[in-house]
Structure 1
Amino acid sequence: MALSHIIAHRVQRLDPTKEAVISTRDTEWLVDGRIEECFRELKHTMMKRLGKDYGCFSEDRAAHPLSPWLDEYHQEKISFESFSQKAMKHLALEIDKTEEPLDGFMILAHERLATSELLHIFFVQHQTGQFIDGDLTINESFYLDTSGIRLAVKIDLDDLYSEDPHRTSSAITLLRWRGEKELSDIFIAFIGFTAKVDVGAETDKFLDVVTDYTKALPDDIAHQTNKQVVDYCLEQNKIGKPVVISELSAQLK
């Protein structure tokens, strides 16, 4: 894991009759062991969550400016801090269109891996916990609930800027806040997300085709083939990627 940039900002609106208050950090976090562990926990939590959506940016870039700002950052026209601060101001505008109360932190991170480049955005909240202090008295403290993220998005920058339309159409993986439709809608509008790919449905259709194909194979080969295909499809579905026939064929050889 190569964490290039990471920063946190706060968003708060406790009174639904008032505007959201955004507290932005001027400089990104310096990456150390604690920061890397926090980021790793956030990534792992999102990866485990079921029911994620897959798609791309809306074509209405004026109404959803995160996409053009990301272009500017990717082209090194603006800094990571500037990109994140612009994003937070736009988030405040989306929140103010509703009366939803909200209190938490937006953590934005740019990760460079050997095979891909990713932008992550997590909405994280504090939780309270009890501890016994030096006077052996029960007290409360706050901690960052990295295992309970409610809203998150992962943008595969390699897919986003690819010339392959199938890759660009599924460049964004989005985690909704289940049971909180208005807050999820705010986040979707903030990102400018549009769902164009139902990876689960595509996988189900492909598995049906494979089942029909393996009926003509000997039982032992059919069983092994089905297992390999299912394992591959489930892994692709988990990470929000479509089935790639050439990859699957290589695994079956």
Structure 2
Amino acid sequence: MALHYFRILYASQGGPEQPVTTKAGPTLREPGGDYEGMHKQLKRVFNAKPGKRYGRFSTDLGDAPVQAWLKDYLEEKQSFESLTDKLLAQWGELLGTVDLDYQGAIAIAHEQLAEGQVLYIWGLETDASLFLDNRLSLDQGETLSLSRLNLAARIEVDDWLAAEPAQNYITLVQARGTGDLGERFAQLAGFESSVDVDKETQTFLDAVEAFAREGDAGKAQAVRTRAYEFCKDQGAAGEPVPLEALSGYLDEENPERFTEFVSQAQSLPAQTVLHPDQRKVRKLVRISGTGNGLSVSFSSDLMNQAVYYDRNQGQLTITKVPKALREQLDRYLERGQEDNT
């Protein structure tokens, strides 16, 4: 089993100036079954989640005691139960520093794979649901959601403990709107940012765009599309984008052409690894914009084929209107005619 240890921890705070109460579930060794299935599903959601942050443990041990606790656990100086007890106590203390009306569970998972060890901290989400009680009357309850993930952390243990530690062995999901809770969760994971995702995204887009324009104009969009596909596949697997691997994907006959180009044009070493934001990388294949009550989005392949832009007049002309949109427009015009009769 890939899942070596698993434990669910619960914390609740009734509101401002209310004490935080905590509770720990049983420590499960190689639980398998539903736990393994839930863990795998959460990993899929995690990998596909856009806007992830990348970093390492804070250099201030007082801000990141998890690294000392985790090291003691890996060296068998303490048990997984002891490690998670300490994490739960710290989680309670962190929640107590802010005024929140919060109740929820986190799960700690130690995964052992052939390629290395990983520690996950899952912020579990729940959905309200209806069910029948033993008298066949409706009652309300909470069920775990395996499709939503607003808080999560992945610690690549082997990268952290390597002779030359990686600069970004922690990946953090901290969704918008999590606010103080999200900040406290990052503190629980001992997270310190080491990657400027916005900057690396722009570097990726600039490199691909410059390379696409360097070659045959007729093949430029194909280059953008393949770059997007590669980036999307890497994101689905929870992996960054190595320029060497991207170069081989863009041109199988001359796999070094892209890295040689960006090395000369943008001074990017062939060994560069980037962490582009999946949402922004879509700009390679889609053109979109919103404003003044209008929202437009279309594949960039359609430019000058089904969509034409007059830069001087600031006008956009669509010659092949989608069927569903055309039907909506027809119905709207028909209603307008009826209103005027």
TM-score grouping bracket, smaller chain normalisation: 0.7 to 0.9
The residue correspondences of 1:160-199 to structure 2 (distance < 5 A) are: 160-164=160-164, 168-199=166-197
Aligned to 1:94: 94
In structure 2, the CA distance between the partners of 1:97 and 1:246, relative to structure 1 (3 Å rule), is: same
The residue correspondences of 1:62-141 to structure 2 (distance < 5 A) are: 62-133=62-133, 135-141=135-141
How many residues get paired? 251
Aligned to 1:22: 22
Q: Which moved more, 1:11-20 or 1:198-207?
A: 198-207
In the TM superposition, residue 237 of structure 1 has moved relative to its aligned partner by 4.9
In the TM superposition, residue 153 of structure 1 has moved relative to its aligned partner by 0.8
SS of the residue corresponding to residue 194 of structure 2 reads strand
SS of the residue corresponding to residue 85 of structure 2 reads helix
Q: Distance in 2 between matches of 1:206 and 1:148?
A: 28
SS of the residue corresponding to residue 28 of structure 2 reads coil
In the TM superposition, residue 130 of structure 1 has moved relative to its aligned partner by 0.9
In the TM superposition, residue 220 of structure 1 has moved relative to its aligned partner by 5.3
Q: Is the 8 A contact 2:54 2:168 kept in 1?
A: yes
SS of the residue corresponding to residue 64 of structure 2 reads coil
Aligned to 1:228: 226
SS of the residue corresponding to residue 197 of structure 1 reads coil
Q: Structure 1: where are the runs of 5+ without partners? A: none
Larger Rg: 2
Q: Distance in 1 between matches of 2:203 and 2:2?
A: 36
Q: Distance in 2 between matches of 1:194 and 1:87?
A: 17
Q: Is the 8 A contact 1:210 1:226 kept in 2?
A: yes
Q: Distance in 2 between matches of 1:205 and 1:18?
A: 47
In structure 2, the CA distance between the partners of 1:19 and 1:135, relative to structure 1 (3 Å rule), is: closer
Q: Structure 2: where are the runs of 5+ without partners? A: 253-341
Q: Which moved more, 1:225-234 or 1:235-244?
A: 235-244
In structure 2, the CA distance between the partners of 1:249 and 1:148, relative to structure 1 (3 Å rule), is: closer
Aligned to 2:3: 3
In the TM superposition, residue 200 of structure 1 has moved relative to its aligned partner by 4.6
Q: Distance in 1 between matches of 2:149 and 2:29?
A: 20
TM-score of the superposed pair, with normalisation by structure 1: 0.86
Q: Distance in 1 between matches of 2:95 and 2:72?
A: 24
Q: Which moved more, 1:226-235 or 1:76-85?
A: 226-235
TM-score of the superposed pair, with normalisation by structure 2: 0.66
Q: What are the superposed Cα offsets for residues 188-232 of structure 1, whole Å, 9 maximum, x if unpaired?
A: 222221112023531331331232233232345544443332322
In the TM superposition, residue 30 of structure 1 has moved relative to its aligned partner by 5.1
Matched-pair identity in %? 29
Q: Distance in 2 between matches of 1:249 and 1:31?
A: 41
Q: Is the 8 A contact 1:170 1:240 kept in 2?
A: no
SS of the residue corresponding to residue 229 of structure 2 reads helix
In the TM superposition, residue 114 of structure 1 has moved relative to its aligned partner by 3.2
The residue correspondences of 1:144-155 to structure 2 (distance < 5 A) are: 144-155=144-155
Q: Distance in 2 between matches of 1:3 and 1:207?
A: 37
SS of the residue corresponding to residue 38 of structure 2 reads helix
Q: Is the 8 A contact 1:116 1:157 kept in 2?
A: yes
The residue correspondences of 1:13-52 to structure 2 (distance < 5 A) are: 13-28=13-28, 31-52=31-52
In the TM superposition, residue 60 of structure 1 has moved relative to its aligned partner by 0.2
SS of the residue corresponding to residue 153 of structure 1 reads strand
In structure 2, the CA distance between the partners of 1:207 and 1:5, relative to structure 1 (3 Å rule), is: same
In the TM superposition, residue 164 of structure 1 has moved relative to its aligned partner by 4.7
Q: Distance in 1 between matches of 2:103 and 2:29?
A: 21
Q: What are the superposed Cα offsets for residues 95-129 of structure 1, whole Å, 9 maximum, x if unpaired?
A: 11122222111101012233343211112244331
Q: Could you say which structure has the greater relative contact order, defined with CA pairs below 8 angstroms and 6 or more residues apart?
A: 1
